Amino acid sequence: MKHLTRAIALLCLTAASTLALSQNADKLVALSAGNTTPLAPIYLAETLGYAKQEGLDYSVKTVFANSLNLVVAGEGDFSVIGISSALVPVREGKETSIVYAISSGLATGFMVASQKVKTVADCTRVSTSRAGSAVFSSAMAYKTTGGGKFTILELGDANQIVPSVLSGGSDCAVSAMAVLQPGLEQGLHLLIDPRNPSTVPPNTVQGTYGSGLWGMKDNLQKKRVAVEKLMRALKRVEEYIKKTPVDQVAAEIVKHPDFKTYKPADIAKQVEAEKLFWFPDSGFVRQSNWNGALTYYKYGLPFIDHGNKLYSYESRVDMSYWTAAFGQAPR
């Protein structure tokens, strides 16, 4: 009897362990660089319940500038941030994989200024996100090609970019339109609007990829099924946004605890500004666009070498999760 009891206990323990591993394999934690509207699609996959409906235990946590380091350290599965940040750990031998594009690079290239500033050359201090982000690359591109001689103020929380200008800490700012919208409502004006090419300094390659999802290669491979489920959930988010009024989308966004302090009406305005740039090719990162992306990212990350295989499409981008979820690449 004792042997039978012990055998049953061992069987139960093994089953429990197997179940725990299975549950863990279907669990994903996304670490967001900011509770800002440009990154809202990744939050909507949670608040709309699409990830759960796909059988995924999924959550988003806002960790701001710590997103990169925490994912490298294994504290989360995805860094939700500018795709260019996936290239930073590579220099230290860390293998990263970019698996999804949330927004076009054009989304990160808006520049606002105080009323006394009339051109990029007039800016003295420009507030933006930290080096490694796509918006930092935009700021550096404008400094390099637009005649700017300004100092860049790197901020770890995108929500502080506009306040830094309004308080006089800087006189210009570069970020996504939704981040800058509150400043426009308080007297700042647009210097550069990627929707109007005539306002954009030449040779600032931006029409590639801005924010997206990347993680550590080995970890994502172990969680392949879960990643594919997230791909399908994000496709449902894309379809939801296309057919749903912005006020309803905003109401869903503010259901997330990290957005609870925001007013739905303000988020609705920002959704209207951002939806033009979300889901380029339904999140698919094209090989044909990668060289241009590296050129854009190099403004903010000078160490990038187009000829180094560490930064090649084959090494850094993995669309196998996307194609496993949906079939062939979009045309």
- Which band of pLDDT confidence, cut at 50, 70 and 90, is reported for residue 104? very high
What pLDDT score was predicted for residue 24? Answer: 58
Q: Is the pLDDT of residue 19 over 70?
A: no
Strands 211-216 and 78-82 come out as: antiparallel
Which CATH topology does 108-199 take? D-Maltodextrin-Binding Protein; domain 2 (3.40.190)
Rounded to two decimals, the pTM is 0.90
Q: What is the DSSP string of 140-165?
A: HHHHHHS---PEEEEES-GGGHHHHH
Average pLDDT, the chain: 92
- Which band of pLDDT confidence, cut at 50, 70 and 90, is reported for residue 21? very low
For the chain, give every residue range classified as CATH 3.40.190.10: 2-104+209-326, 108-199
Strands 125-129 and 172-175 come out as: parallel
Domain at 2-104+209-326: CATH code: 3.40.190.10
Percent of the chain scoring above 70 in pLDDT:
92
